Amino acid sequence: MNKSLRMKLMLPILLLIVAIITASMFYMTMKYEDMAVQYLSKDINNRSKTLAYTVAMGLNDANFDLVNYSFKSVQEDKNFTMIAIVDENKELLIEHNPKKLKLDIAKEVSFKKVRHIDNELAVATPVVYNDKPLGFILLRYSLKEMNEQLNSNIIQGVMIFSLFLFISIVVVIFVMKPIIKNINKLKDFALAIKAGNLKSELQLDAQDELGELAKTFNTMKTTIQSIIAEINKLTDEIKNGNLDARGEDERFEGAYKNIITGINTMFDNVLAPLQEISVNVDLIAKGVLPAKITNEDYLKLSSVHSVNSLIDSIKLLIEESRNSANAAIAGRLNYRADSSRLDGEFKSIINGMNKAIDRLVGLIDNMPMPVQIVDKELKIIYNNKLANSINKN
């Protein structure tokens, strides 16, 4: 089996494996990212509310140590890129802004829910104490660490995928190798049958569909051998003169049966007119002139036309010979058979008869005595030369 066929067998399986794993990795990555963003959004929202609560208590009690402590506790998380506390007039009180982000405080405080901005999560939480607004907490949280973790997970997934793909290829090759080997045996066996080699036997160590296919191939070979043996037997019978022999088509089925039936029909169509010819020739040899063959199917053979022509020629030969003999018996020595109606040796026979009569008449003409031949009514039907001379004088 060539490499292209091997690849045709392996490629769909490998593509299916790759597609499933790739789709699974893509789905899990997207799913994990969404879940991570949702989790962080809830966490930041909760931390922002907690910070807003403690800041509200500190501002209400003028306890700025509590405010600073709460602020620094959030600041310890390096993923916060911006932390700001503004009062009710939206004036900045405390800020942690290492990236020097330009803030539009009026715009920032208008967003009450966590939102995704430039690979960051942003939230503005009102600072309220006893229904009294005291300001806002503004937070920005970087997703860089999360994305790095995702990228690391993707790289690990790709490595796992590559390993799994390699293992899959090895497994596929291991599984496909005996299959390909058996297919090669089937191919070689089919080519051997095509070349007319029916001596080989197909042996497959397989208990699957290929094993069943091998049994079918062997059965097919046995059937072909039986057909050949039946044809050879029939040929030998015909060769030995047994023209009534026919193949046993009932031993076969389907198209194989049609082959033997077709051969039998062929022999019937060929031998039947030949047997008719043989009977006619045998009758001719015994001196019996048979009737011409008129069967339309038989007339398709040129040999039948030849036998009919032979019958016509013999019939003409007999007719001309009989006419010549009757004329001679009746004393009509001037009658000659018409040899132009015949050809070849038949024509030579008639010409020979005519020459014999010519010779006989010549002898009679030259006899030294008058010779006359008369019919029953005493009418002269022949005179030799001397008789003619006497009659003239």
Q: Which domains does the chain have, with CATH numbers?
A: 3-166 (3.30.450.20), 301-392 (no CATH)
The model's confidence at residue 3, banded by pLDDT at 50, 70 and 90, is very low
Q: How far is residue 343 CA from its own chain's centroid?
A: 62
pLDDT at 228 over 80: yes
Say what the pLDDT of residue 271 is. 79
Say what the pLDDT of residue 296 is. 81
The model's confidence at residue 173, banded by pLDDT at 50, 70 and 90, is confident
Say what the pLDDT of residue 188 is. 83
- The residues facing 82 across adjacent strands are 140
Say what the pLDDT of residue 198 is. 80
Residues ≥6 apart with Cβ < 8 Å to 112: 124, 126
Lowest-confidence region among 75-79, 316-320, 383-387: 383-387
Mean pLDDT, residues 24-38: 72
Structure tokens at 129: 């104490």
Distances (CA, A) of 20 to 10, 35, 172, 227, 363: 16, 22, 16, 52, 121
pLDDT at 373 over 70: yes
Angle, vertex CA 185, rays to CA 180 and CA 186, nearest 5: 95
pLDDT at 146 over 60: yes
Structure tokens at 83: 């932390």
H/E run at residue 49:
helix 3-60
Question: Kind of pairing, strands 372-374 and 380-383?
Answer: antiparallel
The model's confidence at residue 1, banded by pLDDT at 50, 70 and 90, is very low
Hey, which of 59-63, 209-213, 218-222, 385-389 has the most confident mean pLDDT? 218-222
pLDDT at 77 over 50: yes
**CB 48: neighbour CB atoms within 10 A?**
22
Whole-number Å distance between alpha carbons of 298 and 294: 8
Give 6-28 pLDDT, tens digit per residue: 555 566 666 677 677 776 766 66
pLDDT at 137 over 80: yes
Mean pLDDT, residues 248-271: 87
Structure tokens at 13: 């399986």
Say what the pLDDT of residue 11 is. 62
Mean pLDDT, residues 78-104: 83
Q: Are 273 and 293 in contact (CB under 8 A)?
A: yes
> What does DSSP assign to residue 369?
S
H/E run at residue 270:
helix 254-285
Structure tokens at 59: 């501002």
The model's confidence at residue 258, banded by pLDDT at 50, 70 and 90, is very high
